[in-house]
Amino acid sequence: MRNTAKLTTAVVAAGALTLGLTACGADKDSGSADGPLIVAASPTPHAEILNYVKDNLAKKAGLDLEVKEFTDYVTPNTATEDGSVGANYFQNQPYLDDFNKKNGTHIVPVVTVHLEPLGLYSNKVEKVGALKSGATVAVPNDTVNEARALKLLAANGLITLKDGADNSATPADIAENPKNLKFKELEAAQTPRSLDDVDAAVVNGNYAIEADLKPAEDALVLESPKNNPYGNFLAVKEGNEKDPRVTKLAKLLTSPEVKKFIEDKYAGSVLPSF
């Protein structure tokens, strides 16, 4: 796939980017209402949506917006907690709840913007029913996304989860596995590049798009948007919710212009949640 090298390089570069942000925090106080609002974001679609706002809406609204891209699901929260950035945009509520609990951070949501449906992809079969007995399925290895992946498989009849399996479910919580599927647990960013090595992979929407997959067309199965708790939101450190820059950005991210941008650019692979 075209983005295989890009994904690998990006993950390696995440540490260097963190150092860069620390230095940036020394020059620009992201917590000061007088400076630019620095927002940490996953490249796709989060940074793309933010850059649309920056290029088309922010100036008129009197918002000085700076976008910093990350390829992992940890640094945006730690950078928001330590003040290196003023906000982040990459995650959903179950993931944030788990992250705050495990890391003692104090990140809170401001406004939900979009949903990236989680999908099951394969380079080996064209229908989910064609997966053979003993097939290997790659799943994200972080707590919430692994549970989310297993729930997707359960919703499509591949497995049955034990009663009470929640947002921390792992393969140990599988009650029935009629196809004797095997699971390969990988960092979420690595799941799309595993497609040549496994029979199928559950991939987060942003990483699918970065890997030139089209969720609305290429996924064997996709999450349903109905009553979906995994909408992605703008988040800040607790106490900064009413920062004037944050309230301006929240309003812009849920504007008709952004809704149209999401619908036109992503054609159903990313869904507005407002």
What does residue 220 show for φ and ψ, rounded to 5 degrees? Answer: -65, -40
What the block records as the tokens of 266 is 């992503």
What the block records as the tokens of 229 is 């708790």
pLDDT-derived band at 267 (thresholds 50, 70, 90) equals: confident
What is the DSSP-derived secondary structure letter of residue 129?
G
Q: Is the pLDDT of residue 20 over 60?
A: no
Q: What are the DSSP calls for 46-62, one per residue?
A: IIHHHHHHHHHTHHHHT
Rounded distance between C-alpha atoms, residue 206 and residue 215, angstroms: 10
What is the DSSP-derived secondary structure letter of residue 191?
T
Q: Give the tens place of pLDDT for each residue, 44-63.
A: 999 999 999 999 999 999 99
- Residue located via tokens 């940074």: 47
Pairing of strands 65-69, 107-115: unpaired
Q: Which of 20-34, 104-118, 253-267 has the lowest mean pLDDT?
A: 20-34
Q: What are the DSSP calls for 132-157, one per residue?
A: PTT-EEEEE-SHHHHHHHHHHHHHTT
Q: Is the pLDDT of residue 31 over 80?
A: no
Element (H, E) at 99: helix 93-103
pLDDT-derived band at 272 (thresholds 50, 70, 90) equals: very high
Q: Give the tens place of pLDDT for each residue, 231-243.
A: 999 999 999 999 9
Please compute the mean of the pLDDT values over residues 21-47 and round it to a whole number.
70
Provide the pLDDT for residue 144: 86
Q: Is the pLDDT of residue 9 over 60?
A: no
Q: Is the pLDDT of residue 257 over 60?
A: yes
Provide the pLDDT for residue 32: 54
Task: Reply yes or no: is the peptide bond before residue 272 cis, omega within 30 of 0.
Answer: no
Judge contact between 103 and 77, C-beta under 8 A: yes
Q: Is the dihedral of CA 237, 243, 247, 252 positive or negative?
A: negative
Please compute the mean of the pLDDT values over residues 125-138 and round it to a whole number.
97
Question: Which residue from 45, 24, 46, 23 is spatially nearest to 36, judged by alpha carbons?
Answer: 24
Provide the pLDDT for residue 80: 98
Question: Which residue from 249, 237, 196, 231 is spatially nearest to 45, judged by alpha carbons?
Answer: 231
Q: Is the pLDDT of residue 7 over 90?
A: no
Q: What are the DSSP calls for 156-206, one per residue?
A: TTS-EEPTT--TT--GGGEEE-TT--EEEEE-GGGTGGGTTTSSEEEE-HH
What the block records as the tokens of 132 is 């053979």
Side-chain half-sphere exposure of 169, counting CA atoms within 13 A: 23
Rounded distance between C-alpha atoms, residue 2 and residue 174, angstroms: 34
Provide the pLDDT for residue 190: 97
Provide the pLDDT for residue 107: 98
Please compute the mean of the pLDDT values over residues 11-23 and round it to a whole number.
39
Q: Give the tens place of pLDDT for each residue, 150-200.
A: 999 999 999 999 999 998 999 999 999 999 999 999 999 999 999 999 999
